[in-house]
Amino acid sequence: MTEPNKKKRTTRSIRIGKLTIGGDAPIAVQSMTATRTQDLQATARQIEILEKAGADVIRIAIDSKEDVEALKKLRQNTDAVLSVDLQENYLMAPLVAPLVDKIRYNPGHLWHLEKSKPIREKVKFIVDAAREHNCAIRIGVNCGSVDPDYKSRFPGDSIQSMVESAVDHCAMLDEMGFENYCVSLKDSDSDKVIEANKRFAERRPDVPLHLGVTEAGLPPEGIIKTRIAFEQLVAAGIGDTIRVSLTLPDDDKGEEIVVGRQILKDIEEGRFRSVPENFLEGLNIIACPSCSRVENGKFVELAQDVRKITEYAEQYKITIAVMGCRVNGPGETDDADLGLWCGPTYVNLKKGEESIGAYPYDEILEKLKFELDKIIEDRFGSVPSRVS
């Protein structure tokens, strides 16, 4: 329980609606809705749950014009500071900007639409919309979806490809005279999150950072992974807003905020937790927190079942990733030994980057166990007795 030296933050302040982040402002705690945006009742309820838990910013994913229509109705019924996630559809920016306080775009998703158009033009399109409606922007770089150009320029160094992509996008926004932005560099590995954010903060100490360990997974492991990263970074003066990403049932989503606030309070009061012995030396289950893109409501249950049926293998250093949708699922399972990503009626199973097949929800666990046993046999010799 050593307390790292606490350092002062050096970032500039930016405005996200009525909220200020960066500079001396308190570190804001945020989360994201995990319901289908067009399911107005469920999404409004989740916004309410997050607001009651004390969320400073609530993010909603928007993929289509129908989602924008839903967002208009949701906006009418809440005063919460709202952010949208554009993911692959940057063309939605001018439609959502009048409705929200912040727009998040992922530099690694911009190439999907209008492939021949220069990235800079697409960024300008988003910046123009944000500027006109007084929105902040988050440049949100993610380990599983780094711009292929940066991946090929920094082979074998996923951290540097993330950092360089973020730094270049900051330069573009600077050149466009747009300063109201922050950056995030997320990975599912706490150590990589620490390293990526430290490297970025050295290059751009002025730019506010949004911290998160993506796909941290189910509690309690997901909380520990997040805590490892936040303790190191916040104590080093890095981080202006945080998001704890946990795989939770919809009604429990407020826990992300409660956990985030507790971690910040502990850091502030000098309570640094030691990492449990042997943590992540065996089986590591990564799972996304789910969002409006989740393809089947059974996702959270599936992630819980994966953990249960793989308990027999917990001593083996193997990573299993469970993702909720086709947007980020295929890319963000590439680095895992076994990856599952959900479709509406089938779950896709991968071994590293290789696809094994798609299986109905009631057959996937058996297939996963079969593949897990094969890996254990190949790498470690024999399969232990297991829970059937």
Smallest gap, in angstroms, from Cβ of residue 276 to ligand SF4?
A: 26
Q: In this structure, are residues 161 and 146 in contact, taking their beta carbons and an 8 Å threshold?
A: yes
Interface with ligand SF4 in residues 269-288 (CB under 6 A) = 288
The residue type at 226 = T
Confirm if 234 and 210 have CB atoms less than 8 A apart: no
Cβ nearer to ligand SF4, comparing 50 with 238: 50
> Which residue, 20, 31, 25, 32, is CA-closest to 8?
25
The answer to the question of residue 239 lying near ligand SF4 (CB under 6 A) is no
Amino acid type, 223: I
Question: CB under 6 A: which stretch of 48-56, 121-129, 302-310, 317-325 binds ligand SF4?
Answer: 317-325
Size of the site for ligand SF4 (CB under 6 A): 12
The CA distance from 309 to 313, in Å, is 9
306 binds ligand SF4 (CB under 6 A): no
Nearer to ligand SF4, 95 or 342 (CB): 342
Nearer to ligand SF4, 313 or 325 (CB): 325
**323 within 8 A of 386, measured Cβ to Cβ:** no
Q: Are 249 and 300 in contact (CB under 8 A)?
A: yes
Tell me the residue length of the chain.
388
289 lines the binding site for ligand SF4 (CB under 6 A): yes
Candidate residues 30, 232, 284, 290; the one interacting with ligand SF4 per rule CB under 6 A: 290
- Nearest CB to ligand SF4, comparing residues 139 and 325: 325
Stretch that binds ligand SF4, among 36-44, 88-96, 259-267, 318-326 (CB under 6 A): 318-326
Q: Which residues, 55 to 114, sit near ligand SF4 by CB under 6 A?
A: none
Angular region, 301: left φ>0, alpha ψ -120 to 50, beta rest = alpha
119-125's contacts with Cβ under 8 Å and 24+ in sequence apart are: 119/147, 120/172, 122/90, 123/169, 123/172, 123/173, 123/176, 124/176, 125/90, 125/91, 125/93, 125/94
Tell me, residue by residue from 319 to 338, as one string, x for binding to ligand SF4 by CB under 6 A and - for no binding. Answer: ----xxx-xxx---------
Q: Least CB distance from residue 105 to ligand SF4, whole Å? A: 14
Nearer to ligand SF4, 290 or 348 (CB): 290
| Residues at the site binding ligand SF4, with contacts judged by CB under 6 A | 288-291, 293-294, 323-325, 327-329
